Structures are given as structure tokens and as C-alpha cells.
Amino acid sequence: MTEVDSEVLTTSGDDEAIRHLTEAIASGKHWYLALLEAIGLWSSAEETYDGRVWRYLIGGEAFDWLLLVQRLCEAAVSLMPQKEVDSLLFHGEPPIDITQDEFKELIGSRKYHQYLNYFYGITVEESLILAVQDEVRKERSGWGLGMEYDTTDETYRRIYGDTQEVLLNQFRREKGYPMLHSITLTELKEFTYWLFKYRLKVCEKARVASDTKKALDHLRTNLPYRLTEPPAA
């Protein structure tokens, strides 16, 4: 992916996607299948809609598909069962079972590859941070330090070799972002994806594999829904 891919190139595909979604549901197709087809037709990697920036492609590579699901569902809210939509958005639980091959065919090969980038680069990376943080907390608790002990720096040192602040500053320098005291959700996702790529670059392959397994195990234990484990990229 090139940098130009992360710009809004056209809205024609987006209009077509929304039109397909509404017409397919109205004609009797299951809303989830129509939604996945609409995702396959969607063209913009980023847009400004309803007063906010929606960035669907993180770092030009990782497809935040549930964010696009939210956007498309807002465009066809009256045609979808809200309970099923909420289960998908908040719990990752689709209303019907389809295979990964069917999922890939419906959204397209390119978006599926970007979906895997997001899964392993952001969802799994977040899970790794939480898993190691749990380990640090248990250790500190055993030493009598209590739950109020800040485990963030030690967690990041164990995984990436430096503190969160140092790594965030390095990320922002590389991206040319301002050194703020706060971070947006979009920037946090991009930072997490940067951490994933940083870990692949600086850690030995055996350590990468071990950490990824730890993250997947933690994810299965804490988020045991069907979308947490696509096939290996």
C-alpha cells in the first residue's frame, strides 16, 4: 500500500456500496451477507462523515472492518435488527455462520488481507499487552505491592524493550505527529500497529511466535467469540 491509498480517492464506490446494501436487504438477502458485499464495494480508506474522521485503513495496511460495519449500519439502520447489529459491533458475534473462505470472497481478497493485518497487528497486539500486564500484576501482587502499582512501563519493557512513553515519542517522530499529552483512539490504533511491526523487527522469531501464541490464548480466554481467530496470514 502506498500513502496515497490512505487518502479519500473517490466516493462513487461508497455510494454504490450503500445503495447495494439497502437494495439487497430490501430484496430479501440476509443483512449480514449484504453488509459483507457492501464492504467489498467500499472504496474510501478514510472519510469525514457526521462531523468526524472515519479511518478504515490503519497505517495504510490494516483494515478496521468493524468501523466500516458501524458506518454502513448507520446508513441502513432501519433495515437491520438492532440486537444482531449490536452483537456484531460490541461482541464480534455475527448473526449467521459463514466460513472464512466465504467471508474472504464476500469482502474481496485485498480487504481480507488487510483484515488479517488488523487482526494480528492490532487486535492480537492489544491482547499481548493485556496478557503481559496481567503477568506483571500477579508478580507485583505476590510481592505485596498491591493492585495500585502502575504496570505499564514494565509491561512495555518486557515486550518491546522500552517504556510506553519512549516508544510513543519514537512513533510520533517517525510519523511527524505532535507530541501531545493525550492520544485519540485512531492514533492509538496506529501506534499499536506500529508496535506490532516494531516487535517483528527487533525480536527473535522464536520470541515473536511465543508472544503471538500467548496473545491468542489470552484472546480466546477473554473474548471467546467466533471472529477472534482467522486462519494464519
Cα torsion for 52, 19, 106, 26, to the nearest 10°?
Answer: 120
Instruction: Show which of 52, 85, 107 is a domain's final residue.
Output: 107
Beta bridge partners of 62: 58
Instruction: Show which of 44, 79, 107 is a domain's final residue.
Output: 107
Asked, for residue 229, whether it belongs to a domain, the answer is no
Structural domain tally of the chain?
2
pLDDT in tens, 184-195: 999 999 999 999
CB 131 within 8 A of CB 117: no
Query: Is residue 119 domain-shared with residue 215, that is, in the same domain?
Result: yes
pLDDT in tens, 91-131: 888 999 898 999 999 999 999 999 999 999 999 999 999 99
Tell me the average pLDDT of the chain: 88
User: What is the rounded CA–CA span in Å between residue 211 and residue 197?
Assistant: 13
Query: Is residue 53 domain-shared with residue 122, that is, in the same domain?
Result: no
Cell of 94: 455475527
Asked, for residue 84, whether it belongs to a domain, the answer is yes
Asked, for residue 231, whether it belongs to a domain, the answer is no
* Domain span including residue 208: 115-222
User: What is the rounded CA–CA span in Å between residue 172 and residue 147?
Assistant: 30
Asked, for residue 230, whether it belongs to a domain, the answer is no
Query: Is residue 88 domain-shared with residue 143, that is, in the same domain?
Result: no
Q: Sorting pLDDT into bands at 50, 70 and 90, what band is 4?
A: very low
pLDDT in tens, 161-182: 999 999 999 999 999 999 999 9
Instruction: Show which of 107, 125, 144 is a domain's final residue.
Output: 107
- Amino acid residing at 115: Y
Pairing of strands 57-58, 62-63: antiparallel
Query: Is residue 124 domain-shared with residue 95, that is, in the same domain?
Result: no
**Over pLDDT 70: what percentage of the chain?**
87
Asked, for residue 203, whether it belongs to a domain, the answer is yes
Query: Is residue 87 domain-shared with residue 121, that is, in the same domain?
Result: no
Asked, for residue 207, whether it belongs to a domain, the answer is yes
Query: Is residue 130 domain-shared with residue 79, that is, in the same domain?
Result: no
Model pTM score: 0.87
pLDDT in tens, 20-60: 999 999 999 999 999 999 999 999 999 998 888 999 999 99
Q: Looking at residues 73-87, what average pLDDT do you find?
A: 94
Query: Is residue 146 domain-shared with residue 215, that is, in the same domain?
Result: yes
- Amino acid residing at 18: I
Query: Is residue 124 domain-shared with residue 63, that is, in the same domain?
Result: no
pLDDT in tens, 219-229: 888 765 555 45
Query: Is residue 86 domain-shared with residue 123, that is, in the same domain?
Result: no
